[in-house]
């Protein structure tokens, strides 16, 4: 049992991992069209899941792509 983790140590590790996995939530305002907001509210009710969770999960892949992409530079384009 020299390599086994104590019960207290396991609890501390688990709580530390959960705390690190959580990200601080910050209140913000997003401007959405009425249609999008209605759709989002409908899914919130349908899935019994907060709109903020749905929005955050939906934005993650888009933000990943934007962060990986090269932004356009001045002078690029047709003219």
Structure confidence by residue, pLDDT tens digits, 7-44: 888 888 888 887 777 777 788 899 999 999 999 999 99
Q: Is the pLDDT of residue 76 over 80?
A: no
Write down the domain spans for the chain.
Answer: 31-68
d(Cα 28, Cα 55) in Å, to the nearest integer?
12
Mean pLDDT value across residues 35-59? 95
The burial of 52, by beta-carbon neighbours within 10 Å (0-12 exposed, 13-18 middle, 19 or more buried), is given as middle
pLDDT at res. 1: 47
Question: Whose CA is closest to 28, among 52, 3, 4, 60?
Answer: 52
Distances (CA, A) of 58 to 8, 16, 61, 62, 71: 37, 27, 7, 8, 21
Given a contact cutoff of 8 angstroms between Cβ atoms, the answer to whether 49 and 58 are in contact is: no
């Amino acid at each position: 049992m020299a390599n086994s983790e104590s019960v207290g140590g396991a609890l501390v590790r688990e709580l530390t991992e959960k705390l690190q996995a959580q990200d601080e939530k910050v209140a913000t305002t997003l401007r959405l069209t009425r249609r999008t907001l209605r759709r989002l509210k409908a899914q919130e009710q349908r899935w019994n899941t907060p709109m903020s969770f749905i929005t955050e999960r939906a934005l993650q892949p888009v933000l990943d792509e934007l962060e990986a992409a090269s932004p356009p530079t001045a002078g690029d384009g047709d003219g």
